[in-house]
Amino acid sequence: MEQIETVVVGAGLAGLCAARDLLDAGRQVVLLEARDRVGGRTYSVPFEAAGLTVDLGAEWVDPDQHQAMMHELARYGIDVEDTTSQTPLEPLSPGTEAGSWDSIVRICDRIGTQLNPSQPNWYEGLDQFDLPVTAFLASHALDINHLPTFLAHGFALQGAHPDEYSMLNLFHEFAAFGGVEAAFNGAESRIAGGAQSLSIAIAKKLGPALRLNYPVTRIAKTGEGVIVEGPAGQLLAGQVIVALPLNALSHLSLDMPLPTEAAQVIAEGHVGRAAKGWAVATLSEPIESVGWPHAVEVYSRRGARSEVVCTFAVAEPDHDAALADSWRVLATRHRHAVVHEEQLSHDWIADPYARGSWLSSAPGQVRGLHELADMSPPVLFAGGDFSRGWYGWMEGAVTSGRDVATRLLAYASDDSAPPATG
Ligand SMILES: Cc1cc2nc3c(=O)[nH]c(=O)nc-3n(C[C@H](O)[C@H](O)[C@H](O)COP(=O)(O)OP(=O)(O)OC[C@H]3O[C@@H](n4cnc5c(N)ncnc54)[C@H](O)[C@@H]3O)c2cc1C
């Protein structure tokens, strides 16, 4: 059996950053990727009919907040395009009565300031907020007129149904962005050439360490080392970094002891299930809006041949049906917009190497997620789904991937790995 010092599984941003940093530190590394491409949930494809490249997965970076991403983009000479909206989607009007938008924002800001997202146990003492978003809003009697706006903005951050994802996720986002308004109306930028361009740039430096078309089906801890295997072969590794989406893990055979809550969160999976689609459109002016429950987030771009519109929806009853409903609602909301037949999207929920969109945890899952991220060698877990500061974001994939490499190097030098901080 081929023996390798460190095997990294999954060539998304997390696995790519981890593999690169370990190679730079002189380690022997192999990076195994199931698909025939790198980038995972960053996936930028040409939309020929419109004459531009669109992101079917991750798209937005916040240059003020996402410092690890900005550092990586600068390192590879990739620009960002400022696409900040000139009009905040929900102006925060004064209002003091219970249930008004303003009072909910103040409550959320107050709770958000109690939470430090970069602390290892940031969730401690916040159990009472670990409940579905709709239950939290009902207990605070948010005015019915504001409910759709809150749910739409929440969905834009969490990509999950508000009956399913925990309010703790939103408090974490509010704290990370520095407040509700910043999180809901954050200044965001698009990555020139598409978000996948960063993954492609990192992969170019990895040479033969990267092995594509190598789906892993089993990772087993043994007395001799860790066996990593799949239809393409079998390796014996000193250490393994598992940089896979949380929802892909229950489809692997993981033959190793796992902490109880970590095993439970793997079995359950997270509840992120967003559908994102692009369509060629004829517009008289650019459009941008939010709504609920269809066409939750909408924006337009201009390509060389035509304009395009993008929309998001909860993927229910399934991805295609959710997008079909959203195109219909979009055309009603923006009367001047004509949405054409040429459409492009990727079903991340049906995708066997993602099985969900970006991380959104259900009540009771956050401890298990962090238990997984804190595991010690020889098998370590990393990724955007396991980040402490920016889970569910590319930023979190980069910080988690870089942190796991640092922890592994610390372990190699003094036999103990510090807890995860990425
Ligand atoms: C529709 C959508 C929109 C998003 N929008 C944004 C956004 O605007 N901004 C933002 O910052 N983030 C966004 N995200 C989230 C962001 O994409 C992720 O947080 C980040 O890319 C995760 O990186 P990762 O390396 O942890 O995981 P991934 O990118 O999922 O990489 C994991 C890799 O593992 C591979 N793999 C899976 N199973 C196996 C196996 N068995 N064997 C070998 N390899 C395997 C996969 O093919 C993949 O390449 C979005 C995600 C989606 C789906």
Q: Domain ranges in the chain? A: 2-41+195-269+361-414, 44-66+188-194+271-345, 101-184
One-letter amino acid for residue 94 of the chain: P
pLDDT bracket for residue 208 (50, 70, 90):
very high
Q: Is 349 in the pocket of ligand 1 (CB under 6 A)?
A: no
The pLDDT value recorded for residue 187 is: 62
Residue 327 DSSP code: H
CA distances, 138 to each of 101, 107, 134 (Å): 13, 14, 6
CA of 356 to the centre of ligand 1 (A): 9
Task: Supply φ then ψ for residue 79, to 5 degrees.
Answer: -85, 160
The pLDDT value recorded for residue 85 is: 59
Spatial CA neighbour of 336 closest among 368, 307, 315:
307
Percent of the chain at pLDDT > 70 equals 95
Helix intervals (H) in 122-163: 133-139, 147-158
DSSP-derived secondary structure for 76-111: TT--EEE---SS-SS------STTSHHHHHHHHHHH
pLDDT tens-place string over residues 112-147: 888 998 788 999 999 999 999 999 998 887 677 778
Instruction: Indicate if the pLDDT at residue 88 is higher than 70.
Output: no
Q: How many helices (H) and strands (E) does the chain have?
A: 13, 18
Q: Is 275 in the pocket of ligand 1 (CB under 6 A)?
A: no
Instruction: Indicate if the pLDDT at residue 299 is higher than 70.
Output: yes
pLDDT tens-place string over residues 138-178: 888 767 777 888 999 999 999 999 999 999 999 999 999 99
Q: Is 132 in the pocket of ligand 1 (CB under 6 A)?
A: no
Q: Which CATH fold would you assign to the domain 2-41+195-269+361-414?
A: FAD/NAD(P)-binding domain (3.50.50)
Beta strand 288-290 with 297-302: parallel, antiparallel or unpaired? Answer: antiparallel
Instruction: Indicate if the pLDDT at residue 385 is higher than 80.
Output: yes
Averaged pLDDT score across all residues of the chain: 93
Percent of the chain at pLDDT > 90 equals 86
CA of 245 to the centre of ligand 1 (A): 6
Instruction: Indicate if the pLDDT at residue 10 is higher than 80.
Output: yes
pLDDT tens-place string over residues 41-59: 999 999 999 999 999 999 9
Lookup: tokens for 228 = 């990593």
Q: Is 35 in the pocket of ligand 1 (CB under 6 A)?
A: yes
- Cβ(192)–Cβ(78) below 8 Å: yes
DSSP-derived secondary structure for 160-187: S-TTTSBHHHHHHHHHHHTSHHHHHS--
State the CB neighbour count (10 A cutoff) for residue 234.
11
CA of 274 to the centre of ligand 1 (A): 13
- Cβ(236)–Cβ(1) below 8 Å: yes
Lookup: tokens for 174 = 């509010």
pLDDT tens-place string over residues 326-368: 999 999 999 999 999 999 999 999 999 999 999 999 999 999 9
CA gap 160, 312 in Å, rounded: 11
pLDDT bracket for residue 87 (50, 70, 90):
very low
- Cβ(143)–Cβ(101) below 8 Å: yes
CB burial of residue 110 (10 Å; 0-12, 13-18, 19+): exposed
Q: Is 8 in the pocket of ligand 1 (CB under 6 A)?
A: no
| Owner of token pair 């929309």 | 311
Task: Supply φ then ψ for residue 105, to 5 degrees.
Answer: -60, -40
State the CB neighbour count (10 A cutoff) for residue 182.
18
Rounded to 5°, angle at Cα 213 from 38 and 401: 40
CB burial of residue 193 (10 Å; 0-12, 13-18, 19+): middle
- Cβ(150)–Cβ(162) below 8 Å: no
The pLDDT value recorded for residue 143 is: 72
Lookup: tokens for 335 = 């009367």
Instruction: Give the bridge partners for 277, in sequence order.
Output: 311, 345
The pLDDT value recorded for residue 185 is: 84
Instruction: Indicate if the pLDDT at residue 89 is higher than 80.
Output: no
CA distances, 24 to each of 11, 32, 202 (Å): 17, 18, 12
CA gap 335, 118 in Å, rounded: 44
Average pLDDT over every residue of 405-419: 89
Report which ligand 1 atom has the smallest distance to the Cα of 346.
1
- Cβ(270)–Cβ(365) below 8 Å: yes
* Residues across the chain: 422
Q: Output Rg (C-alpha) for the chain, integer angstroms.
A: 21
Coil, helix or strand at residue 254: strand
The pLDDT value recorded for residue 86 is: 47
Coil, helix or strand at residue 385: helix
Report which ligand 1 atom has the smallest distance to the Cα of 13.
25
Q: Is 357 in the pocket of ligand 1 (CB under 6 A)?
A: yes
Q: Which CATH fold would you assign to the domain 101-184?
A: Guanine Nucleotide Dissociation Inhibitor; domain 1 (1.10.405)
